Structure 1
């Protein structure tokens, strides 16, 4: 049996030291939660607060759409049209916030086209040819290509993304922007002027770290020296390049801010990475070249032109908890969302 005096002493020690220990532990917590950390927590909390951009409640307008398959112009409610665009432009299994971001971008594209380029579509706002405008699939086409099960399980999600952002567009200085978007970045998006001829202040290079999870983030093309030289000579008759020792004749000279090849020297000719992408049908203009004795390997990152919103990057942000308007604000700098109807 323990000595009663020893037990009494232990109780006294504990009664004195325990409050001191708790006080020290609490003090440590206060010290580590510095003003800087508190500010970061507040900022994070405020950024995750939901913002309701539905400020106007009007009937959605009808627009003219040129159907390139039938060669006819049809009138359609713009929101119904966007159901078909979103179904064609983004996977339905993406996060709903990414789908909402895509819906707003697609609506903005349509409004911008309607206000600026109807003459190019025979009096219509847009056409159904994805090589010229946006991908569009009618309800009947979706039902046939994707099946009844998709219509039941996924189409409602598509409609929700459009309906929840009804009438909302992206603006810069009060005007609808040119909301370029693409599949997958190489980790950063591109400045518009480094890819296309026009500079837009809201289409600037930004980090896009979640694209690395995309299925087409990385790809490789192997091509023989003979075929590579043949493709170049067929495209540029005045080029002076031969199959022997290509590593001394091909050199990447510069890259864009987003990582794509800006200039590349091939023999006596200087081209752009975009030129090479088109000639070889590469997934993007962001590539490295590995030379072998009889062949070249083009190691490519990303898929698409790289300007504006990365769709896989948007989905990654959505999976991390970002709202659709935060995604749009990230990829389209200094823009605001405006509710038209």
Structure 2
């Protein structure tokens, strides 16, 4: 029998000390040399980006920017930066794609517009109220969406009309509006352009001031109309010219501009919305006017150092933060490791994060990295702390190389006591700089947490109860297992050893009730974990999302049949056949999103039964009923879902009468490269960041940027 993941990977501090001593004794004292690679001063981080569902998608319909010290805006086309103007302190500037939208309600009644917007906001964050002058009135247009086609906006319009969002005193019929318009101007100032837009609005036209790069400067024009296509633009141009539009023309579809619309989501919160065309290559760049960063409301109201660039890519709004590399790392290290962790662990994380970010190159087309764990977590200024900043500053410009090139310095939260062997267990490839299957002191997440008891209730249900809510009754069950007494009323019995507020307990017990102890386990954490029991249907669905050859149900057996050097699973059989899910790390998602592949699968409905004739029979939840013989010699079927049996060691085990599965294991993440919790453990044992890095990246060289 294969030992459990916990048994295979539980580290010994004495053994670890001996291993480290051997490694370090054979190594020369590390020296940080000047790097053979250049370390740039800045990095580009995508906060919103659409590269397609198979590559990367983080989509927003609007980007709302503000800064406590105000902002300056500039038009940037990659060749030049043309100033646009400023945004006052604590005032917002909103950016969107000038696309097809559902104009749900046009009204002169602001309260009606606000009521319409609130109905939209129940299920969409793409609703907007735009204020404009039209036919001598102040008009409010409630729109939703930024659709790439008129058909998409039309479908949305039907939805909102059916939902009652179009009800109210309307000035016109609800309709689809688009990005096609007639242009007039140019004007000497924004004020002149806005005055011209108001005059044209007085003639019943929909007119908006707009910015446009012309002749090496930003100029002001007016865009008239919000048409779905170009078919009506000729007629609209004549109407606009008759209304006094000077030099009215139909612009080319590829011309860059930013239409300016006044939004009023609330009566006291006006903001300018900059609508950028889908085909424009230029971007608007926002810089903080003072020392304060820029807040991006749609990204959890996080505030960022550096500049934010807003553009359009693949029919979606893109938002990229260009920031100093070291400033970027202040936040990354602050997110990735605990604020209270030793400084040497902060330093090790800083070097690994810096190397990993630079290894990516421009892996995201217009950005080097993204702000999620697809790259590494980056949450802006609020995630910085003095300890993370100190770790970054102390290692400024330092990177890990192999053969004169940056390494792919991947890391994970917790290796579960032993790092992965990438070549045979995770993604494949013989990267000589990863330390394969080395002991890692990862037990930290369990420190200070209470154990839990896996218990059986009198009604046959089994689950987990926290250890401080039970006490030894001094009595024994007929099987020899301890009977534990409940302490307190309303004690929850949970499906796994963890309190999850959104999951209802399996049962609640009151003081004095007795339960049977099955085993004592650690509380669910990043080092040691047990998932709630999974049904065959749940696992079959999850497996078939990854399996290259679909598994024909029902799922009766699921067993680990091979493991790699660290103990991680490398082969699993379902119903006796090998399942191919591609690279080894895919097993995490294939098994329902488990934390690590350093795991074991308990088949709760599978037993080997010894008969009276000495022969054994395997039961694997294949249907039919399980029967037992009583003391009176009569057989009866077990009709309930749960069953309790004594294993070969005389230990009481919880099983099920039908197929069922419990997955447990160690660690969190892929396990390749540096373990963050292991880094903390080594730092607490007195090792510095250079040795920590050498321990996890065995053949890498620590180098410093030649410019520093």
TM-score for both structures, normalised by structure 1? 0.73
Given the superposition, is the C-alpha separation of residues 217 and 85 from structure 1 closer, same or farther in structure 2, using an over 3 Å criterion?
Answer: same
Deviation at 1:209, TM superposition (A): 3.4
Q: Distance in 1 between matches of 2:392 and 2:431?
A: 26
Cα separation, 1, equivalents of 2:534 and 2:421: 30
Corresponding residue of 1:78? 325
Partner of 1:261: 569
Structure 2 counterpart SS, 1:169: strand
Question: RMSD between aligned alpha carbons?
Answer: 3.0
Worse overlay, 279-288 or 263-272: 263-272
Go from structure 1 to structure 2 and tell me whether the alpha carbon gap of 1:128 and 1:230 turns closer, same or farther (over 3 Å shift): closer
Change (3 A) 1:59 1:296: closer
Question: C-alpha distance in 2, partners of 1:234/1:328?
Answer: 36
Structure whose residues are more often strand by fraction: 2
The answer to whether the Cα contact below 8 Å between 1:288 and 1:298 also exists between their aligned partners in 2 is yes
Q: Would you say the 8 A contact 2:39–2:397 is kept in 1?
A: no
Check whether the contact 1:241–1:266 (CA below 8 A) recurs between aligned residues: no
Say if 1:60 and 1:79, in contact at 8 Å, map to a contact too. no
**Mapping of 1:2-21 within 5 angstroms?**
none
Which of these residues, 53, 76, 79, is aligned with residue 32 of structure 2?
53
- Does residue 205 (structure 1) correspond to residue 436 (structure 2)? The answer is yes
Alignment of 1:78-227 (within 5 A): 78-114=325-361, 118=362, 120-131=363-374, 133-139=375-381, 141-142=382-383, 155-194=385-424, 195-214=426-445, 215-221=525-531, 222-227=533-538
Q: Secondary structure at the match of 2:442?
A: helix
Are residues 137 and 180 of structure 1, via their aligned partners in 2, closer, same or farther at CA, if it must alter by over 3 Å? same
- Cα gap change, 1:163/1:265 in structure 2, threshold over 3 Å: closer, same or farther? same
Whole-Å Cα distance in 1 between the matches of residues 682 and 367 of structure 2?
34
Trace 1:173-322 onto structure 2 (pairs within 5 A): 173-194=403-424, 195-214=426-445, 215-221=525-531, 222-232=533-543, 238-243=550-555, 246=556, 249-267=557-575, 268-271=577-580, 274-279=585-590, 280-292=592-604, 293=656, 294=658, 295-322=660-687
Mind listing any 5+ residue stretches in structure 2 that lack a counterpart?
1-19, 49-298, 300-309, 311-317, 446-524, 605-655
CA distance 1:213–1:127, change in 2 (3 Å) = closer
Any conservation in 2 of the 1:260–1:286 contact (CA below 8 Å)? yes
Q: 2:4 aligns to what?
A: none
Q: Take 1:285 and 1:159, find their aligned partners in 2: how far apart are those partners?
A: 33
**Residues 216 and 59 (structure 1), Cα distance of their counterparts in 2 relative to 1, 3 Å cut:** closer
Residue 337 of structure 1 aligns to a residue in which SS?
strand
Aligned length: 279
Match of 1:10 in 2: none
Structure ranking higher in helix proportion: 1
> Cα offset for 1:257?
1.2
* Residues 1:156 and 1:47: Cα distance change in structure 2 (over 3 Å): farther
- CA deviation digits over 1:249-280, x for unaligned, max 9? 32322111111100111124423564442031
CA drift at 1:64:
2.7
Q: Cα–Cα, structure 1 residues 168 and 300, in superposed 2: closer, same or farther, change >3 Å?
A: same
Asked which structure has the greater RCO (Cα within 8 Å, sep 6+), the reply is 1
2:646 alignment counterpart: none
Corresponding residue for 2:474? none
For residue 43 of structure 1, report the CA deviation from its aligned partner: 9.7
Q: Compare CA radii of gyration and give the structure with the larger one.
A: 2
In 2: Cα distance, 1:252 partner to 1:173 partner = 38
Q: Give, in whole Å, the separation in 2 of the partners of 1:190 and 1:218.
A: 16
State the TM-score, normalizing by the size of structure 2. Answer: 0.37
